Structure 1
Amino acid sequence: MGTASTHDTHACVRSDAALTRAFTILGKRWSAVVLGSLRSGPAGFRELSRAIDGLSDSVLSDRLSELTKEGLIARTVDAGPPVSVSYELTECGKALMPALHQISEWAEKHLSFEEG
């Protein structure tokens, strides 16, 4: 005899859609790392490039553009001289930091890393 499901199918679909949307942005390689690198305050392109090992300048440029377009970071141009550009988390980006911190803690606890 079958049992009636206590799951709300519509709630599952809504959650799935939200996670899909979130990981469409965060699932791209380096996106979360770039966001996490900005958690302590604004940084320029060179500073970010030096802070993130293994990230090419072209991919960093792409991720900064995408994250700016999504409203997670803001790009500020200081006319100088010299002209400088900095990036910082928006309120939306800052709201994501507790979740990224939890993912980082989870990874440290449950994922093994091989140094290479």
Structure 2
Amino acid sequence: MSPTHTDVPMAPAELDPCGMPDHPDCGIRDVLDRVGDKWSVLVVVELASGPRRFGELQRAVDGISQRMLTLTVRRLERDGLVTRTVYPTVPAQVDYRLTDTGASLTHLVKALADWSLRHREAIAASRHLYDQTHPDHDIR
């Protein structure tokens, strides 16, 4: 894999406005886009229990590709939620851990996971009912 294969495109450092006319510089959408995406949440959940090496993360986050994991941890690092530590060994060892800011997110992620577990049966039943009453829909 070439070094540029996993490059993360750099965007301006300031947060994008959320688009609401009464608070155009809030940056909420920009932050939620990062901390709310599927892979970031799963990486934060995994790192909540302690530092992990890249391979451990990839095995723990079912279905994530090497490239997507690389992008995800780099983005989380850029946002100050994850720290990447390279140890001077041969071959070099690298681990990832949550920063204090990243760790402060874990209670929110846990609350979301707990809510999901409590409501998954009701959501599954609602989906089933919707699918029966709208047989031609293509929503997934």
Q: TM-score range by the shorter chain?
A: 0.7 to 0.9
- TM-score, normalised on structure 1? 0.78
**Matching of residue 54 in structure 1 with residue 63 in structure 2:** yes
Aligned residues: 100
In structure 2, C-alpha distance between the alignment counterparts of 1:81 and 1:30, rounded to whole Å = 30
Map residues 8-19 of structure 1 onto 2, 5 A cutoff: 17=26, 19=28
User: Are residues 1:29 and 2:38 paired?
Assistant: yes
Runs of 4+ in 1 over 3 A off after TM superposition: none
Question: Greater shift after overlay, 101-110 or 24-33?
Answer: 24-33
With structure 2 as the length reference, what TM-score do the two structures score? 0.65
Partner of 2:15: none
Q: Which amino acid aligns with 1:107?
A: S
Q: Please give the alpha-carbon distance, in whole angstroms, between the structure 2 residues aligned to 1:75 and 1:39.
A: 15
- Residue of structure 2 equivalent to 1:44: 53
Among all aligned residue pairs of Structure 1 and Structure 2, give the percentage whose two residues are the same amino acid: 32
Provide closer, same or farther for how the CA distance between residues 107 and 52 of structure 1 changes in structure 2, counting only shifts above 3 A: same
Unaligned runs of 5+ in 1: 1-12
- Match of 1:78, as an amino acid? Y
Which residue number corresponds to residue 103 of structure 2?
A: 94
In structure 2, list runs of 5 or more residues that go unmatched.
Answer: 1-21, 125-140
Tell me the C-alpha RMSD between the 2 structures. Answer: 1.8
Query: Which has the higher relative contact order, 1 or 2, with Cα contacts under 8 A spaced 6 or more apart?
Result: 1
